[in-house]
Amino acid sequence: MSPVETSVSRREQRHSLALTLGLALVGINLLVALLTLFWTPYDPLNASGGRLEAPSLLHWLGTDRLGRDLLTQLMIGARTALLVGTGAVAIGATVGVSLGVLAAFATRLADDVMAATLDILIAFPTLLLAMLVVAASDSASLWTAILALGLAISATVARLTRILAKRVLRQDYIVASRTSGTSWAGVVFRHVLPNIWPTLSVNFALQFGLAVIAEASLSYLGLGAPPPNASWGRLLQEAQGTVYTAPIGAIAPGIALVALVIGMNLLADGLRDIGDPTRGRSR
Amino acid sequence: MTALLNIQGLHIRAGDKPLVSDLSFSIRPGERIGLIGESGSGKSMTAMAATGLLPVSIGVSGSIELDSQQVVGATDSVMNRLRGAAAAVVFQEPLTALDPLMKIGRQIAEPVRRRLERESGKTSKDVVQREVRDLIDKVALPQPERIINSYPHEVSGGQRQRVAIAMALACRPKLLIADEPTTALDVTTQAEILKLLDQLVRETGMALLFISHDLPVVAQVVERVIVLKNGVAVEEGPVKAVFGNPQHDYTKTLVEAARLFDEALGATG
Ligand SMILES: Nc1ncnc2c1ncn2[C@@H]1O[C@H](COP(=O)(O)OP(=O)(O)O)[C@@H](O)[C@H]1O
Ligand SMILES: [Mg+2]
């Protein structure tokens, strides 16, 4: 085997390892989230043991300061995290990609206005933007958090889409396709979206992770999902006062959060490499 | 017979810099015309103007009638119906003219599907697939099954140009515009592609606007030539007359250069 082939296959091995790990991390999260719809080890809302019990065979991760099973809380937190990540990215992707493609086609003036607006929106930290939206709506709910994060994501996605789409629109194959009678709508769906998708999808995974973290932060600040929607952010907040006496209360949701975010990024990277027919060539 | 492409007093400019000045020529159905001139003389600009696809920053005035439809100032929906049906284009660089992320079979299927929808209002996958296979045979691509499922970077430069030609043929255009279709290819492949184009144009009876800076190449496939210099037509006429007895100094240099090149080849070969 030549040295070139060796390095390519080694890279592919590394890619498939990353993909497997990503699939596993996200897959476990998804399974746990689905499981909680039917079954949890204990009642999530009521005490099932003494306060702040250490991990035991009955309570694998111990109990919180109200005597509720921590593993149960953590499992429901997985559901919340997936819901927030998926919901926020779905909103962000739909609104952001539409705006970004429109901007790429807009006249010079409209494009400049749109670009400036997006730059201002992006200059706001996501969390601050989300706090404003949550504050503007009367009550904090999971859905206002998702909506707020989705809007924040759509600004970033719109800006990225606009740049990527403009680059594709300058390519020769767009003119070539137009000479055979492809309409602008055809150009968008057949050429622009497929060609920007590999980069966009990786960004969606990144945004998914950021949304999950942001929701945790909102919950930590008391602006996120209210009970009974346990969220990892609220678990972290509640563990704050007892982090020295019962560190597992902070460590467990922290690890869960990091694992999901990393898993999502590995998955997106791996999927992009599979979806890219030009992979294996120099880039 | 009315002209298929009738260009009268065409001016193309970028800002106040003229790229093409007062150009007039016409192509009748089935006629084969060569547009020659050195790089930067405005040949591609003229071709793009004919299909209404000049960049928005480029100004255009004069009259361009393609299949009896005025192109200058026409709306996009009017032009979309005209493009492909009236004229299709094969470009110089076959790699960048194909979508890198779309399989070749699908790239050829797109214009086939569009034409069938235009002609009969309906299509079926089977009919489209059969036509794609026919087109691949027509442009003599080997291993059709493999080609259909390949991406552009997975086939050779000559094969890519054959794919581009198949895509243009898929439109069944009345006029084929070939903008330096062999310039990016090696000499052997160049000759093959040229032969293929020549044969296809004769078989289908479509008109040809062949653009090149290479005089011997043009002379092989066209009947009449227009010599363009700095955006101005300096000479026009039948191939034999123009190249046998060039009037304009610029044409004389082109002919002389080609002759010297031939002699050099003859001396070494
Ligand atoms: N988008 C553009 N804006 C301004 N000038 C251009 C643009 N594209 C090409 N030109 C100029 O137009 C002239 C003619 O170009 P072109 O028609 O491509 O020449 P060629 O005969 O080699 O095909 C060249 O001088 C080129 O620099
Ligand atoms: Mg050119």
CA distances for A176 relative to A169, B95, B178, angstroms: 11, 11, 12
A281 belongs to a structural domain = no
Residue A279 is predicted with a pLDDT of 66
Confidence grade of residue A48 (pLDDT, cut at 50, 70, 90): confident
Please tell me the distance from the alpha carbon of residue B199 to that of residue B219, in angstroms, as a whole number: 15
B38 Cα to the center of ligand 1, angstroms: 12
**B232: which 2 tokens?**
């101005």
Count other C-beta atoms under 10 Å from residue B259's C-beta: 13
Please tell me the distance from the alpha carbon of residue A13 to that of residue A187, in angstroms, as a whole number: 36
CA distances for A108 relative to A95, A175, B3, B7, B57, angstroms: 21, 20, 37, 30, 11
Decide if A206 contacts A269 (C-beta within 8 A): no
Give the residue carrying structure tokens 């609104």.
Answer: A95
**For the residues A40-56, what does the mean pLDDT come to?**
81
Please tell me the distance from the alpha carbon of residue B94 to that of residue A176, in angstroms, as a whole number: 10
B221 belongs to a structural domain = yes
Residue A259 is predicted with a pLDDT of 94
Decide if B82 contacts B67 (C-beta within 8 A): yes
Chain B (130-169) residues lying within 8 Å, Cβ to Cβ, of chain A: 151, 153-154, 164, 167-168
The residues lining ligand 1, judged by C-beta closer than 6 Å to any ligand atom, are B 14, 19, 37, 39-45, 55, 57-58
For chain B, the average pLDDT equals 92
- Domain count for chain B: 1
B41 Cα to the center of ligand 2, angstroms: 8
ipTM for this prediction? 0.91
Own/partner contacts of B135-140, CB < 8 Å, gap of 24 or more, are: B135/B108, B135/B166, B135/B169, B135/B170, B136/B108, B136/B166, B138/B166, B138/B169, B138/B200, B139/B163, B139/B165, B139/B166, B139/B169, B139/B196, B139/B200, B140/B196
CATH number, domain of A243, equals: 1.10.3720.10
Q: Do B84 and A179 touch (CB under 8 A)?
A: yes
**For the residues B203-224, what does the mean pLDDT come to?**
92
Residues around ion ligand 2, judged by CB within 5 A, are B 44
Q: For A216-275, write each residue's pLDDT tens digit.
A: 888 888 777 777 678 888 888 888 888 787 788 889 999 999 999 999 989 888 877 777
Residue A59 is predicted with a pLDDT of 77
Q: Which domain range does residue A194 map to?
A: 68-275
Q: For A128-175, write each residue's pLDDT tens digit.
A: 877 887 778 766 678 888 988 998 899 999 999 999 999 999 999 999
- Shortest-distance atom of ligand 1 to CA B179: 23
Residue A5 is predicted with a pLDDT of 52
Q: Which domain range does residue B158 map to?
A: 5-264
- Residue from B12, B21, B44 to probe ligand 1 pocket by mutation (most atoms less than 8 Å from CB): B44
Count other C-beta atoms under 10 Å from residue B160's C-beta: 22
- Shortest-distance atom of ligand 1 to CA B58: 3
Residues in A touching B110 (Cβ below 8 Å): 177, 180, 182, 190
CATH number, domain of B136, equals: 3.40.50.300
What is residue B210's three-state secondary structure? strand
Q: For B98-128, write each residue's pLDDT tens digit.
A: 999 999 999 999 999 999 988 888 889 999 9
Which of A17-21, A99-103, A108-112, B263-267 is least confident? Answer: B263-267
Residue A277 is predicted with a pLDDT of 75
pLDDT at A283 over 50: no
Q: Does B105 touch chain A (CB under 8 A)?
A: no
Tell whether the torsion through CA atoms of B238, B241, B246 and B247 is positive or negative: negative
Report the nearest-CA residue for atom 12 of ligand 1.
Answer: B19
**For the residues A19-37, what does the mean pLDDT come to?**
93
Q: Name B211's bridge partners.
A: B35, B179
**A79: which 2 tokens?**
């559901």
Q: For A165-191, write each residue's pLDDT tens digit.
A: 999 999 999 999 999 999 999 999 999
Q: Name B175's bridge partners.
A: B87, B207
Mapped to the 3 state alphabet, what secondary structure does B6-61 carry?
EEEEEEEEECCEEEEEEEEEEECCCCEEEEECCCCCCHHHHHHHHCCCCCCCEEEE
Tell whether the torsion through CA atoms of A230, A232, A233 and A239 is positive or negative: positive
Q: Does A194 touch chain B (CB under 8 A)?
A: yes
What is residue A243's three-state secondary structure? coil
Q: Kindly report the backbone phi and psi dihedral angles of residue B182, in degrees, each rounded to the nearest multiple of 5, phi listed first.
A: -115, 0
Q: Does A175 touch chain B (CB under 8 A)?
A: yes
Please count the helices (runs of H) and the strands (runs of E) in chain A.
Answer: 10, 0
Confidence grade of residue A1 (pLDDT, cut at 50, 70, 90): very low
CA distances for B227 relative to A230, B33, B208, B253, angstroms: 77, 11, 16, 12
pLDDT at B244 over 80: yes
A10 belongs to a structural domain = no
Q: Do A195 and B114 touch (CB under 8 A)?
A: no
pLDDT at B185 over 60: yes
B269 belongs to a structural domain = no
Decide if B221 contacts B194 (C-beta within 8 A): yes
Task: Considering only the beta carbons, identify the residue of A172, A195, A276 that sits closest to B91.
Answer: A172
Residue A140 is predicted with a pLDDT of 66
Kind of pairing between the strands at B17-27 and B32-36: unpaired
Please tell me the distance from the alpha carbon of residue B149 to that of residue A95, in angstroms, as a whole number: 34
Q: Does B119 touch chain A (CB under 8 A)?
A: no
B148 belongs to a structural domain = yes
Percent of chain B at pLDDT > 70 equals 98
Alpha-carbon dihedral A106, A107, A109, A114, rounded to 10 degrees: 0
Decide if B109 contacts B128 (C-beta within 8 A): yes
Q: For B71-87, write each residue's pLDDT tens digit.
A: 999 999 999 999 999 99
Q: Does A138 touch chain B (CB under 8 A)?
A: no
**B138: which 2 tokens?**
């027509």
Kind of pairing between the strands at B69-70 and B87-90: unpaired
A28 belongs to a structural domain = no
Q: For B116-161, write each residue's pLDDT tens digit.
A: 988 888 889 999 999 999 999 999 999 999 999 999 999 999 999 9
Decide if A107 contacts A115 (C-beta within 8 A): no
- Domain count for chain A: 1
Residues in B touching A195 (Cβ below 8 Å): 99-101
Q: Is the peptide bond before A228 cis (omega within 30 degrees of 0)?
A: yes
Residue B147 is predicted with a pLDDT of 96
Q: For A89-120, write each residue's pLDDT tens digit.
A: 999 999 999 999 999 988 777 788 888 888 88
A238 belongs to a structural domain = yes
pLDDT at A2 over 60: no
Q: Kindly report the backbone phi and psi dihedral angles of residue B147, in degrees, each rounded to the nearest multiple of 5, phi listed first.
A: -60, -45
Task: Considering only the beta carbons, identify the residue of B76, B83, B151 that sits closest to A277.
Answer: B151
